[in-house]
Amino acid sequence: MNTGEWPTWAERSLSGARLQTYATAAGGRSAAIRLYWWNIEVSAAFYGPLHCLEVALRNALHGALMHRFGRPDWWSIAPLDADGARLVSDAQTKCGRRINHRPATADDVVAELSFGFWVKLLSRRYDRTFWVPALHRAFPRGSGRRDDLHRQFTTMMLLRNRISHHEPIHHRRLEADHATLFRLLDLLNADLSAEARQLDRVPTVLKQRQDTCAGLRTPQF
């Protein structure tokens, strides 16, 4: 039912309650809808660099742990905690359901494991078992303090999750998020980071926020 506060299409499909948070941030209903579109635009722009970061992290950590334990399914003998072991088991089950013509490979399981799984491997819980003997080597340009690295990757994971669940990110310090993302990508693979920067449109979209919300440009997904 249209309350009269929003166009019928917006009330019905986007939800007036959801749009009200944008109205508060933008200072009005018309600007709220434009901010909503810009939020999608900037979320889409972040998707590519975040994709590179997540895939680079999981492959780097997988490579280091595979070398440490001497087998591609290192999780079979590594001292994962109960939650980590559960996530691996869930990933194996999902692979088994999706791939019914052959056994799931280690690469299948690696691709199925969540960003959160890989970020947790950098936590204090695994400092002596994974970080000290193996995972610090996943960052060829140096990593700094493990706890700082874990904190920064956690920030990126939360940003990625908000984008994946279509949540607002316009209120975040997105310039700082962008800088953190590429700083981490530089640590993992400087060549990939340089390539991603050539394709990155986040800085351009950030600069266009004011004009978009003022109605001076039309955002693009």
pLDDT of res. 102 = 77
**Count of C-beta atoms within a 10 Å radius of residue 142:** 7
pLDDT tens digit sequence for 7-36: 999 989 998 889 999 999 998 888 999 999
| pLDDT for residue 66 | 98
Separation CA 51–CA 57 (nearest Å): 10
The structure tokens listed for 82 are: 């109960």
Q: Are residues 119 and 160 in contact, defined by beta-carbon separation less than 8 angstroms?
A: no
pLDDT of residue 86 exceeding 90, the answer is yes
Q: At what angle do helices 146-164 and 29-69 cross, to 10 degrees?
A: 130
Return the pLDDT at 6: 87
Tell me how far the alpha carbon of residue 36 is from its chain's centroid. Answer: 20
What are 97-131's pLDDT values in tens digits?
877 767 889 999 999 999 999 999 999 999 999 99
Report the pLDDT value the prediction gives residue 2, as an integer from 0 to 100.
42
- What digits encode the pLDDT tens for the residues 161-201? 999 999 999 999 999 999 999 999 999 999 999 999 999 99
Distance CA 153, CA 122 (A): 9
The residue extents of the domains of the chain are: 15-213
pLDDT, tens digit (0-9, with 9 covering 90-100), for 40-64: 999 999 999 999 999 999 999 999 9
Q: 141 versus 53: which is more confidently predicted?
A: 53
**pLDDT score for 96:** 84
pTM, 2 dp: 0.93
Helix axes 190-199, 29-69, angle to 10 degrees: 160
pLDDT at 4 over 80: no
Best CA proximity match to 178, nearest among 147, 148, 150, 207: 207
Return d(Cα 94, Cα 117) in angstroms, integer: 15
